[in-house]
Structure 1
């Protein structure tokens, strides 16, 4: 009986010693994110001839 208890204790401690561990650590260097973004836009405005004449006469151009 005592041998079985000792065997169970030794087996239990061996199983606990073999359990994997996971460590979460912060990186030693800062994280760099390089974003090379080029934004091109083009705005096209079509104006009616009559409206274009009004704008030119009023001096808003």
Structure 2
């Protein structure tokens, strides 16, 4: 049993030594996220609705 305790102790020591090797640092440059959103459909829909309302309000002109 004394041999198993020694192996377990060595394994714990090895893991403890590896924990100090990890470094995390922030990047030097800012992270840039580019979003390209197409809003053309919404604008066309609004214009079509406004045009329909205008035609209904001024039916005698058209």
TM range (shorter): 0.3 to 0.5
> Higher Cα Rg: structure 1 or 2?
1
Structure of higher RCO (CA pairs closer than 8 Å, 6+ residues apart):
2
> What TM-score results when the alignment is normalised by the length of structure 2?
0.38
> What TM-score results when the alignment is normalised by the length of structure 1?
0.38
